[in-house]
Structure 1
Amino acid sequence: MDTLALLQHYWWFLISLLGALLVFLLFVQGGQAVLYDIGKTPEERNTLTGTLGSKWEITFTTLVTFGGAFFASFPLFYSTSFGGAYYVWMAILLVFVLQAVGYEFRRKPGNVYGGRTFDVFLQINGILGPLLLGVAVGTLFTGASFTVDRLNLADTAGGGAAVISQWTTPWHGLEALASTQNIFLGVSVALLAILLGCQYFLLTLDDPTLRERSRERMIPAAVAFLLFFLAWFIRLLLSDGWAVDGAGRIAVEPYKYLHNLLEMPAVAAVLLVGLVSVLWSIALGWWGRRHAVWFGGAGTVLTVLALLLCAGWNHTAYYPSTADIQSSLTIANSSSSRFTLQVMSVVSLFIPLVVAYIWYAWRSLSGERNAAARENK
């Protein structure tokens, strides 16, 4: 493997890791989705939003970082998907804006709309945020309707900016909602977020009544998640994929993702450990153990990381084109230049410091929340 290919694989790993962390942090959205199921009174809902409100900014920051890293390392995907499927991405942005507005104004003095209005904003974000993100990620496996023509870079006759990628439907990404496979993944992500949100409540809440409701709410979410995820995963293993040969030509390969797991045993092992960890967290949650979320979170990160690596590594087109197979994006044909990837790789060495800061912020915000709760008592 030459230097450029190594850098491309390295950056796809980092992108996959950021995506995996983002899915884990969606426990905030999951907690918001069951806000009225667990919190029966305004005081209980204030307790729930209080424990979630100290973490939502970390989720939003990770989402922005994920998009920024994609733009820097694989700009052709950014311009194709974010510039073509913009209805889906604008919908995702809108529901996250609703979340920010909800936390800012739900307890604001003089709120003329009432706290329930902004609680509804939080629930909309809690349900649609993970669902739409899951649908968007699903297109990495099922494909999207676009074409790519690099010769357009030389076409400046119109006097405007050159456009490499073109979306071929007027729905601009919303057509992904018509795919059963994408919907199954979106529902799986939404249910996983609820599962993790309930486990997070088990960890952070001191009220035994709220903890018991969280445990009870976790069980149906866990069962539904397993059913939807297994249906999606089995279908993925049996479906066709898009393989790339040494000349960069792309062709359909039956059972491509199954082959990827068999040909990358380390990735398959990570996936297996992740799934077992998630199952163990469900058992711990059933028993009411407060540390279940750490196993659920670790399992989520490992599972999503393995699935995203399966989508991009082993000569696989990670963003297939259903309009023109040769327009499909791979980590080789959509990445930044060698120089850009090298410079960013040096910068990426500071990632452990960023992770340490996030952990410090997490602990500090949790400490402030606990101190405020003691004062209120």
Structure 2
Amino acid sequence: MDTLTFLQHYWWFIISLLGALLVFLLFVQGGQALLYRLGRTEEERTLLVNALGRKWEFTFTTLVTFGGAFFASFPLFYSTSFGGATYVWMAILLVFVIQAVAYEYRRKPGNVFGERTFEAFLVINGIAGPFLLGAAVGTLFTGADFTVDRFNMANAGGDTIISQWASPWHGLEALGDHRNILLGLAVVFLAGTLACQYLLNAVDDRTLNERVRKTMRPLALIFLAAFLSFLGSLLVSPGWSYDASGVITAEPFKYLHNLVQMPLVTVLLLAGVVLVLTSILLGWRGSRKAIWPGGSGTVLTVLALLLCAGWNNTVYYPSLADMQSSLTIANSSSSEFTLRVMAYVSLFIPFVAAYIWYAWRALNRRPVTREELRDEEHTY
């Protein structure tokens, strides 16, 4: 493996890891979606919002970092998808912007719109955010309607067009594929399940904890049904691969072959699934520790799926309009120099992760209680 190929695989791993962490951190959105299901009174809703408010910035920052890393390492994907699937990405941006506004202004003095307006923003973000992100990630497997004129890449400048979207729906056509809908639903209900596990750990309130435990049961069952349906459909679906010359061809059972040919990725997937199932069982029993196997299992599972999408000569963004326009980590990456410089910068990631862990533990050192909120000067 030459240096450029190694760097392309390395940066796909980094992006996959960021994507996996983002899916785990969507438990904030899952908790917001359940705001009125779990919070029957204003005090209970404030308790939930403040427990989630301690973590919402982690999710937002990871989303921005994920997009930035994709832009820097695989700019052709960024320009093709973000520039073509405009409606989907603008919708995602909108629902995350209203989340930030809601946390900032919900309890602001002189709030003329009332708390319920901003709580509605939180619920919208909690449902639409995970669903749209899940459906968008699904297109990495199912494809999208775009074309890429590679001859224009060498002459880029002025009004030169490299990528074009072939559908007037600009990304919304992804909802026409049942696999994207299944993955979107799986992410929504996974976020809800993880939210319940997090709230068991972060909130010290017997009434809420019992309500959370009971709510998690149907959420987890629906998540498992949606995820296993997506996974089964993916493994029997054809995929696309490319050879040393970059020619793209269809390959039956491509993702199943990837799991067979990359046993370490398969181990990650199986370990992740086992950990998630373990966390569900712990959560049903009301354990405060359920979030830890749930979070780590989510990261491992999503990491394995995204590695299957890009490694092993796999097309990670199939073009449904023109097969040879499809994107791979080989034909859509930045230059070797850019990837190398960013690789040096990425060596700081463990230090950033250590800081995040420290901040997480500091914010969650004590569970949130009703009494604490009554004495707190600043609440969300």
- Note closer, same or farther for the CA distance 1:375–1:15 as it changes in structure 2 (3 Å cut): closer
Asked if structure 2 preserves the Cα contact closer than 8 Å seen for 1:84 and 1:166, the reply is yes
Aligned match of 1:188: 186
Distance 1:20 1:153 in 2: 31
- Give 2:116's aligned amino acid: R
- Note closer, same or farther for the CA distance 1:154–1:248 as it changes in structure 2 (3 Å cut): closer
After TM superposition, list the pairs within 5 Å mapping 1:276-295 onto structure 2.
276-295=274-293
Aligned-partner SS, 1:40: coil
Asked if structure 2 preserves the Cα contact closer than 8 Å seen for 1:50 and 1:369, the reply is no
Aligned match of 2:252: 254
2:218 to 217, 220, 224: 220
After TM superposition, list the pairs within 5 Å mapping 1:222-241 onto structure 2.
222-241=220-239
Aligned-partner SS, 2:62: helix
2:310 to 309, 312, 326: 312
Task: Give the deviation of 1:357 after TM superposition.
Answer: 1.5
Aligned-partner SS, 2:364: helix
Count of aligned pairs between the two proteins? 375
The percentage of aligned residue pairs carrying the same residue is: 68
Asked if structure 2 preserves the Cα contact closer than 8 Å seen for 1:145 and 1:323, the reply is yes
Task: Give the deviation of 1:372 after TM superposition.
Answer: 9.5
After TM superposition, list the pairs within 5 Å mapping 1:1-40 onto structure 2.
1-40=1-40
Distance 1:373 1:27 in 2: 24
After TM superposition, list the pairs within 5 Å mapping 1:38-57 onto structure 2.
38-57=38-57
After TM superposition, list the pairs within 5 Å mapping 1:301-340 onto structure 2.
301-340=299-338
Distance 1:139 1:42 in 2: 40
Asked if structure 1 preserves the Cα contact closer than 8 Å seen for 2:276 and 2:294, the reply is yes
Distance 2:158 2:329 in 1: 28
Task: Give the deviation of 1:161 after TM superposition.
Answer: 3.3
Asked if structure 1 preserves the Cα contact closer than 8 Å seen for 2:202 and 2:367, the reply is no
- Give 2:228's aligned amino acid: L
Asked if structure 2 preserves the Cα contact closer than 8 Å seen for 1:154 and 1:162, the reply is no
Aligned match of 1:348: 346
- Give 2:316's aligned amino acid: Y
Task: Give the deviation of 1:10 after TM superposition.
Answer: 0.5
Task: Give the deviation of 1:169 after TM superposition.
Answer: 0.9
Task: Give the deviation of 1:113 after TM superposition.
Answer: 1.5
Distance 1:367 1:359 in 2: 12
- Give 1:333's aligned amino acid: N
After TM superposition, list the pairs within 5 Å mapping 1:168-187 onto structure 2.
168-187=166-185
After TM superposition, list the pairs within 5 Å mapping 1:65-214 onto structure 2.
65-153=65-153, 160-214=158-212
Distance 1:373 1:68 in 2: 41
Distance 1:286 1:76 in 2: 44
- Note closer, same or farther for the CA distance 1:103–1:371 as it changes in structure 2 (3 Å cut): same
The structure 1 segments of at least 4 consecutive aligned residues displaced by more than 6 Å after TM superposition are: none
Structure 2 residue ranges without an equivalent (≥5):
376-380
Task: Give the deviation of 1:359 after TM superposition.
Answer: 1.4
Task: Give the deviation of 1:155 after TM superposition.
Answer: 5.4
- Give 1:113's aligned amino acid: F
Task: Give the deviation of 1:368 after TM superposition.
Answer: 8.4
TM-score, length basis structure 1: 0.97
Task: Give the deviation of 1:369 after TM superposition.
Answer: 7.7
Distance 1:369 1:117 in 2: 27
Distance 1:154 1:213 in 2: 59
Distance 2:215 2:286 in 1: 12
TM-score, length basis structure 2: 0.96
Aligned-partner SS, 2:296: helix
Aligned-partner SS, 1:319: coil
- Give 1:78's aligned amino acid: Y
Distance 2:154 2:342 in 1: 28
Task: Give the deviation of 1:154 after TM superposition.
Answer: 5.2
Distance 1:267 1:366 in 2: 32
Asked if structure 2 preserves the Cα contact closer than 8 Å seen for 1:239 and 1:255, the reply is yes
Question: Deviation string for 1:281-304 (max 9, x for gaps)?
Answer: 000001111110111000000000
Aligned-partner SS, 2:111: coil
Task: State which drifts further: 146-155 or 310-319.
Answer: 146-155
- Give 2:2's aligned amino acid: D
Task: Give the deviation of 1:266 after TM superposition.
Answer: 0.4
Asked if structure 1 preserves the Cα contact closer than 8 Å seen for 2:34 and 2:123, the reply is yes
Distance 2:8 2:153 in 1: 23
Distance 1:351 1:47 in 2: 33
Task: Give the deviation of 1:366 after TM superposition.
Answer: 3.0
